[in-house]
Amino acid sequence: MDFALDDQQRMVQEMVRSFAEDRLRPGAAERDRTGEFPHEIFEEMGELGLLGMFVPEEYGGAGMDLLSYLLAVEELARVDASVAVGMSVTNSVCCYPILTFGTEEQKRRYLPELASGRAIGGFMLTEPHAGSDAASLKTRYRDAGDHWVLDGSKAWITNAGVGRYFVCLATREPELGVRGISAFILDADQDGVIVDRPEAKMGLKSSRTAMVTLDGARVPKDAMLGEEGRGFRVALGTLDHSRLGIAAQAVGIAQAALEEALRYASERQQFGRPLIGHQAIAFRLAEMDTEIAAARALLWHAAWAAGQPGRHSRESARAKLYASEMANRVVGQALQVHGGYGYSREYTIERLYRDVRVTTIYEGTSEVQKLVISRALAELAGTLA
Ligand SMILES: Cc1cc2nc3c(=O)[nH]c(=O)nc-3n(C[C@H](O)[C@H](O)[C@H](O)COP(=O)(O)OP(=O)(O)OC[C@H]3O[C@@H](n4cnc5c(N)ncnc54)[C@H](O)[C@@H]3O)c2cc1C
C-alpha cells in the first residue's frame, strides 16, 4: 500500500494551494461579507483546468484522476469554501454525469464549455417537498414533439443564476415512482427557467444558491441524459461520486480551522504562557490533527474504491459522513481555542464555523449517509447467512 502522491497529484496540490493563497485568500473575508459571486475567479479556474478536472483532454478537460480533483477541492476549501463548492458542483454533479451517462454527442457538445469555465454547471434534484426523499420529486416532463418540456420547482440549487447547464431530474408521472424519473441536460439560458433571489444562507455566502422555477422550460430531444425512466440511477450514481467532493471540502475546512487554532494558541498568552503550553489545549489540537488525518485517509480510500469495478456507495457515504461530522467537531473545537475572539467576525474561524455547518446536510444529510451504509450492511448480512 502506497500513500505517497504521484508527481501529477503533488503538482496539482501545490498549484491549487498557491492559487488559493494568491487569488482566494485576499478577498475571502470581503466576499463573505458582500456575498458577491467571484466571476473572475471562476474564469481563472476554467483557464487552469479546475472546472473539468477529470474530463478527458479530448473533451477539453484536464484529464486528471479523481484524487487530484479531491486534493484541489481540499486546497480551495482550506481558503474559501464558497469557491470550493461552486467548483466541485461543476466538476462532480454536472461534468461527471455527462461524462458517465452521456452520449458521445452530448460529451462533445457540453463538456468543453463546462471544463473551460465558459459555462458553469449544476444539478437540480431537490424540490421544496422532496429533499432526502428525492424520489418523490414532482417536476414533470412531457414530450412536445421535437423537444421536451419541463415544469416544476427546484429548491436550493447551487450555481443557480450564475450557471448555464444543469443536470435536472424530472418525472413523466409521479405515480410511476423512480421508474418515471428521467435526467436532462437543461440550458438555464432561456425564459422558461426562472431563478428566484439568492437564499440568505448562514454560510458559504459567495456561493449562489436559489430556488428555480421551470415554467415550460425546453430541452432539446437529444439532451435527455441516459435512458428514459433511468434518471434516478443517474442521480444516485452521481451522488456516490460527488459526495467525495463534499468530504474533501469538509477536510479542507477542518484543516484551515486547525491552522487557525494553532496560530492563535501559539500567540495568545494566558497564565503566563502561550495557550499551546497548556496541555489541555495541546491535546485538543492533537485530537483535531488525528481526526483530520483519519477523515483524509477514509476519503483517499473511497477515491481508490471509486476506481475499482462495482459500486462504491458505502465507501463514499462513509467518507462523507465521517469527514463532515469530523469537520463540524474540529471547527467547533478550534473556535473554542479562540475563546471570545472566536465569536467575532474579525477572526477567520467565525466564517469557518458558519461555512462548515452545511457539509453534514447537502448531497445527502448524515442520516441519509447512514441509510446508504446500513443498506449496504444489510445486503452484506444477507450474504453471511
Ligand atoms: C447550501 C445548499 C446547497 C444545496 N445545493 C443543492 C444543489 O445544487 N442541488 C440540489 O438538488 N440540492 C441542493 N441542496 C439540497 C440538499 O441536498 C438538501 O437540503 C438535502 O438533501 C436535505 O434535504 P432537505 O433540506 O429537504 O431536508 P429533509 O429531507 O426534509 O430532512 C430534514 C431532516 O430529517 C432527516 N431525515 C429525513 N429523512 C430521514 C429518514 N428516513 N431517516 C432519518 N432521518 C431523516 C434529515 O437527515 C434531516 O436531518 C443544497 C442545500 C443547501 C443547504
The reply to whether 152 and 253 lie within a common domain is no
Give me the domain span that covers residue 165: 122-228
Closest Cα to atom 25 of ligand 1? 131
- Considering the domain boundaries, does residue 345 fall inside one? yes
Q: Of ligand 1's atoms, which has the minimum distance to the CA of residue 122?
A: 8
Domain end residue (candidates: 228, 253, 275): 228
Same domain, yes or no: 269 and 343? yes
Please tell me if the CB atom of residue 130 comes closer than 6 angstroms to any atom of ligand 1. no
The arithmetic mean of pLDDT across residues 101-110, rounded, is 98
Residue 339 belongs to a domain: yes
- Same structural domain, 284 and 177: no
* Residue that finishes a domain, picked among 120, 141, 163: 120
Question: Residue 128's domain is classified under what CATH number?
Answer: 2.40.110.10
Beta carbon of 125 within 6 Å of any ligand 1 atom: yes
Residue 1 within a domain: no
Measured from the CB, is residue 209 less than 6 Å from ligand 1?
Answer: yes
* Mean of the per-residue pLDDT values of the chain: 97
β partners of residue 167: 123, 185
Residue 75: active-site member: no
For residues 143 and 113, state if they share a domain.
Answer: no
Whether residue 223 is contained in a domain is answered as yes
* Total domain count, the chain: 3
Co-location of 268 and 322 in the same domain: yes
Q: Is 27 helix (H, G, I), strand (E, B) or coil?
A: helix
DSSP 87-133: HHHIIIIIIHHHHHH--HHHHHHHHHHHHHTSS-EEEE--BTTBSS-
Q: Does some domain include residue 270?
A: yes
Q: What is the pLDDT of residue 381?
A: 86
Asked whether the predicted pLDDT for residue 331 surpasses 80, the reply is yes
Query: Is residue 385 pLDDT above 70, yes or no?
Result: no
Give this prediction's pTM. Answer: 0.97
Residue nearest to atom 23 of ligand 1 (CA): 131
Looking at residue 197, its pLDDT comes to 97
- CATH classification of the domain holding 59: 1.10.540.10
The verdict on 241 and 319 lying in the same domain is: yes
Q: How far is the CA of 173 from the centre of ligand 1 (A)?
A: 23
pLDDT tens-digit map of 158-216: 999 999 999 999 999 999 999 999 999 999 999 999 999 999 999 999 999 999 999 99
In a domain, 48, yes or no: yes
Residue keyed to cell 458521445:
104
Ligand 1 and 126: CB distance under 6 A: yes
For residues 334 and 259, membership in a common domain is answered with yes
Task: Please tell me whether residues 20 and 148 are part of one structural domain.
Answer: no
pLDDT bracket for residue 311 (50, 70, 90): confident
**2 occurs within a structural domain:** no
Residues 259 and 183 in one domain: no
> Residue 73 and residue 102: Cα distance in Å, rounded?
24
Residue 323, pLDDT above cutoff 90: yes
Q: CA-to-CA distance for 61 and 54, rounded, in angstroms?
A: 7
Ligand 1, closest atom to CA 124?
11
- 138-155 confidence digits (pLDDT tens): 999 999 999 999 999 999
Q: How far is CA 213 from the centre of its chain?
A: 22
Average pLDDT over every residue of 263-291: 98
- Cβ of 156 closer than 6 Å to ligand 1, yes or no, is yes
101 and 128, same domain (yes or no): no
253 lines ligand 1 (CB under 6 A): no
pLDDT at 2: 84
> How far, in Å, CA of 38 to CA of 288, rounded?
31
Q: Using an 8 Å Cβ cutoff, are 159 and 120 in contact? A: yes
- Nearest-atom index, ligand 1, CA of 365: 47
> Stretch 372-382: mean pLDDT, rounded?
91
Domain identity same for 239 and 325: yes
CA distance 268 to 377: 47
CA of 131 to the centre of ligand 1 (A): 5
Pairing assessment for the beta strands 193-195 and 209-220 based on DSSP bridges: antiparallel
Binned at pLDDT 50, 70 and 90, residue 380 comes out as confident
**The dihedral of CA 314, 315, 317, 321: what is its sign?**
positive
Range name among 106-115, 320-329, 376-385 with the lowest pLDDT average: 376-385
Identify the residue whose C-alpha is closest to ligand 1 atom 14: 156
Say if residues 348 and 255 touch (Cβ distance below 8 Å): no
Q: Please give the number of the atom of ligand 1 that sits closest to the Cα of 358.
A: 53
Identified catalytic residue from 315, 350, 363, 379: 363
Summarised one tens digit per residue, pLDDT across range 32-88 is 999 999 999 999 999 999 999 999 999 999 999 999 999 999 999 999 999 999 999
**Of 120, 152, 182, which residue sits at a domain end?**
120
Q: Are residues 11 and 74 in the same domain?
A: yes
Q: What is the CATH number of the domain that holds 316?
A: 1.20.140.10
Q: DSSP 3-state assignment of 157?
A: strand
Ligand 1 contact via 369 beta carbon (within 6 Å): no
Query: Is there an atom of ligand 1 within 6 Å of 60 CB?
Result: no
The end-to-end CA distance of the chain, in Å, is 32
